[in-house]
């Protein structure tokens, strides 16, 4: 499965570097072409000779060869690679990847790489559990880096816990999974709405909500990975545009409505993930409203329901909605399923820890006319995958 794949194996300064030898051998055995880039410290843990012999190529450490000035081009390496696999990845290297520090060849290669990137963290249990490390891992995951989770077990320090690098055989399996092409939605066009809308009150103030857009962006990314054409209609967010996705930035519920309706005629389905304002100020003041000693009332009027509009001329196409509820969850979600003519609705309750806004995880129940399936807490990426699996099942019927 890895036949002819170009893999840069990045090795950083961790005791687990000894496992990189076996990993390299297995990758080569699977047919991959492997080039090894080591950080200067990694050479203390495993010899360049071992890695050069196993990869069948000289290893790279420095930006250039001081003997003859030959440049080790991170740009060409980044272009050459189908995958940059950093195993083991230390807490130090992950932190530098997050902040963009580029003080060795491996990090400059990471910044130049257009390929998939995967990392297999390895460190002591406390370093791994530290909030900084966890936040760096979450950031990298959000940016599309595949994280090959460390295992729990005995560590080099003698302590027992999570932080031990995954075994080479497991890493190879996960690398293979990264190359599985799932073009199951090729030729299909999906609309995804994501994030919060912003309803101006005056040139300075506005009404919005806590949505970050993470769930919708994960869905757009997963649809694109499966070969679909994706129009991501996005409220304000700080998230990067997923690869291969057309992003349409909008501000208000009205803008989002117009952008969605315009594209619906030639779409095959839509996933309505946005947290759309239900009300908007009736009049937007042209200049900043002045305060006075009196209370103030802002008159609000209803916005248009985008999901409902698409549902009204849905035909055989697939329409998925979300329901974020605080009480009476299932009955409310079922009501929306009917009113908006959805194929299914994804319910997340704000009562569940780890679900809803901001975080990287969600706990959802998928509800359709036949029943409901409750899922455990999982990453938003995993939730995206189960939602799209369900869309594919509907499409096959």
Question: In this chain, which of 276, 319, 347, 366 binds ligand C5P, going by CB under 6 A?
Answer: 276
Pick the closer one to ligand C5P by CB: 13 or 321: 321
- Going residue by residue from 336 to 355, which x/- string records binding to ligand C5P, judged by CB under 6 A? x-------------------
Pick the closer one to ligand C5P by CB: 172 or 233: 233
367 makes contact with ligand C5P (CB under 6 A): no
Nearest to 28, CA basis, from 57, 58, 61:
57
**Which stretch of DSSP H or E encloses residue 134?**
helix 131-142
Question: In this chain, which of 20, 61, 250, 323 binds ligand C5P, going by CB under 6 A?
Answer: 323
Adjacent-strand bridge partners of 373: 366
d(CA 202, CA 186): 44
CA 59 from chain centre, in angstroms, equals: 31
Nearest to 358, CA basis, from 214, 186, 161:
214
d(CA 252, CA 304): 11
* Site for ligand C5P, residues 295 to 314, rule: CB under 6 A: 303, 305-307
CB of 276 to ligand C5P, least distance (A): 4
33 makes contact with ligand C5P (CB under 6 A): no
- Among 93-101, 228-236, 261-269, 317-325, which window interacts with ligand C5P (CB under 6 A)? 317-325
Q: Which two tokens stand for residue 149?
A: 């989770």
In the three-class reduction of DSSP (H, G, I as helix; E, B as strand; rest coil), residue 346 is classed as: strand
Q: Which two tokens stand for residue 141?
A: 């995951």
Annotation marks residue 72 as catalytic: no
Q: Report CA-CA distances (Å) from 367 to 136, 303, 346, 373.
A: 34, 25, 6, 7
272 makes contact with ligand C5P (CB under 6 A): yes
193 makes contact with ligand C5P (CB under 6 A): yes
Number of residues engaging ligand C5P in binding (CB under 6 A): 14
274 makes contact with ligand C5P (CB under 6 A): yes
280 makes contact with ligand C5P (CB under 6 A): no
Of 209, 258, 332, 341, catalytic: 209
Nearest to 187, CA basis, from 97, 85, 269, 283:
269
Q: Radius of gyration over alpha carbons of the chain, in Å?
A: 25
Query: Which residue numbers are catalytic?
Result: 209
The site for ligand C5P (CB under 6 A) is made up of: 193, 253, 272-274, 276, 303, 305-307, 321-323, 336
């Amino acid at each position: 499965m890895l036949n002819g794949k170009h893999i840069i194996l990045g090795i950083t300064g961790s005791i687990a570097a000894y496992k990189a030898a076996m990993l390299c051998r297995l990758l080569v055995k699977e047919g991959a072409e492997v080039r090894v880039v080591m950080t200067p410290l990694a050479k203390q843990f495993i010899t360049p000779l071992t890695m050069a012999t196993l990869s069948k190529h000289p290893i790279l450490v420095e930006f250039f060869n001081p003997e003859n000035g030959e440049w080790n081009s991170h740009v060409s390496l980044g272009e050459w690679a189908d995958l940059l696999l950093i195993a083991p990845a230390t807490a130090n290297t992950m932190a530098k990847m997050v902040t963009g520090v580029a003080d060795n060849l491996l990090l400059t290669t990471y910044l130049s790489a257009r390929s998939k990137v995967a990392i297999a963290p390895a460190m002591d249990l406390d370093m791994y559990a530290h909030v900084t490390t966890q936040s760096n891992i979450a950031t990298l995951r959000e940016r599309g880096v595949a994280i090959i989770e460390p295992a729990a077990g005995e560590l080099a320090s003698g302590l027992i816990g999570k932080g031990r690098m995954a075994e080479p055989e497991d890493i190879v399996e996960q690398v293979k999974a990264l190359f599985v092409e799932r073009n199951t939605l090729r030729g299909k066009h999906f609309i995804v709405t994501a994030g919060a809308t912003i309803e101006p009150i005056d040139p300075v103030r506005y009404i919005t909500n806590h949505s970050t857009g993470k769930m919708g962006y994960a869905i757009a990314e997963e649809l694109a990975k499966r070969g679909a054409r994706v129009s991501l209609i996005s409220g304000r967010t700080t998230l990067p545009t997923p690869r291969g996705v057309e992003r349409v930035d909008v501000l208000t519920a009205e803008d989002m409505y117009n952008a969605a309706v315009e594209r619906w005629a030639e779409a095959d389905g839509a996933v309505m993930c946005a947290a759309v304002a239900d009300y908007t100020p009736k009049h937007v003041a042209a200049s900043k409203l002045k305060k006075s000693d009196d209370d103030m009332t802002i008159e609000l009027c209803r916005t248009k329901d985008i999901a409902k509009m698409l549902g009204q001329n849905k035909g055989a196409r697939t329409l998925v909605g979300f329901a974020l509820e605080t009480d009476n969850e299932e009955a409310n979600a079922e009501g929306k399923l009917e009113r908006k003519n959805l194929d299914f609705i994804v319910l997340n309750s704000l009562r569940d820890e780890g679900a809803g806004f901001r975080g990287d995880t969600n706990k959802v129940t998928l509800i359709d006319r036949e029943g409901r399936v409750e899922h455990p807490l999982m990453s938003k990426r995993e939730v995206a995958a189960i939602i799209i699996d369900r869309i594919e099942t509907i499409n096959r019927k």
